[in-house]
Amino acid sequence: MRANRTLEIGTGLFVLLGFAALLFLTTQLPASGLKLGGAKEGYHVTAEFDNIGDLKVGSPVTMSGVNVGEVTGIRFDPKIYKAVVGMRIDSQYNQIPDDSYASIQTQGLLGGKYIGLSPGGSDTYLKNGSNIDQTQSAIVLENLINKLFASSVGKGGDNQAQGSDNQPKAEPKK
C-alpha cells in the first residue's frame, strides 16, 4: 500500500514538472507567436531577397550579434519576383547607415533563420520607410546538397567511362 502511494506522488510530481517545462518553453520560443509585453517602438524598413528560406515573421534582426529588431512581415512582389521583408528596428538603434547590408543567416547548422545587418559607411542613416538595397539571400542546405550530389555523380560516371577506355590492352602473343 505504501509503495503504491509513493508511485502516485512521484507520477504527479513528474506530470507537474512536465507542465512547468512546457509553459517555460512556450514563453521562450520566438516563433510561438506568444508576445509578452506591449509593442515596441521603432522604425520600419524593408529589404528585397531572391530567396528567404524559412525566415518567419517574428525572427530577430541582429547587428554584430545584438538583437536590434524583428521581422514584421513577409510578402511576394509579383512585379520584381522577389520576397519583400518588412523589419522593425528598435528606436534606440537610429544610426544604422543607409548603405548597410542585410543577409539571411542561420542559427547553427540546422537552426532557424534570422536577418543579420552589416554596417555600411554612409553618413546618412536608415529611417522609417527606408529600403535596404544590398541583400544576400538565404543559403538553402538542400540546394547545396543537391548540387554536391549532382557534381559527384557526374564526375563518378565520367571516371568510370574513362577508366574502361584507358585500361591497358593486352598485346597479342606472337
Query: Which residues are paired to 104 by β-bridges?
Result: 115
Mean pLDDT of all residues in 77-93: 95
Helix (H) / strand (E) element for 77: namely strand 66-77
DSSP string, 7-37: HHHHHHHHHHHHHHHHHHHHHH-GGG----S
Asked if the structure places residue 62 within a domain, the reply is yes
173: pLDDT strictly greater than 70: no
Residue 12 lies in a domain: no
Would the pTM count as exceeding 0.75? no
Is residue 114 included in any domain, yes or no?
Answer: yes
The mean per-residue pLDDT over the stretch 155-161 comes to 51
- Residue showing cell 545584438: 66
Domain count, the chain: 1
What pLDDT was estimated at residue 122?
92
Q: Does a structural domain hold residue 18? A: no
At 70, which CATH number? 2.40.30
Q: Is 2 among the domain residues?
A: no
Indicate the range of 53-62, 64-73, 148-157, 158-167 predicted with least confidence.
Answer: 158-167
- The verdict on residue 8 lying in a domain is no
* 109 vs 116: CA distance, rounded Å: 16
More confident residue, 23 or 17: 17
Q: Looking at residues 17-37, what average pLDDT do you find? A: 69
- Residue 35 included in any domain: no
Q: Which domain holds residue 102?
A: 41-131
Bridge partners, residue 149, by sequence: none
Taking the C-alpha atoms of residue 23 and residue 10, their distance in angstroms, rounded to an integer, is 20
pLDDT in tens, 40-74: 789 999 999 999 988 999 999 999 999 999 999 99
Q: Would you state the cell numbers that stand for residue 61, as one nine-digit string?
A: 534582426
Q: Are 61 and 117 in contact (CB under 8 A)?
A: yes
Is residue 117 domain-resident? yes
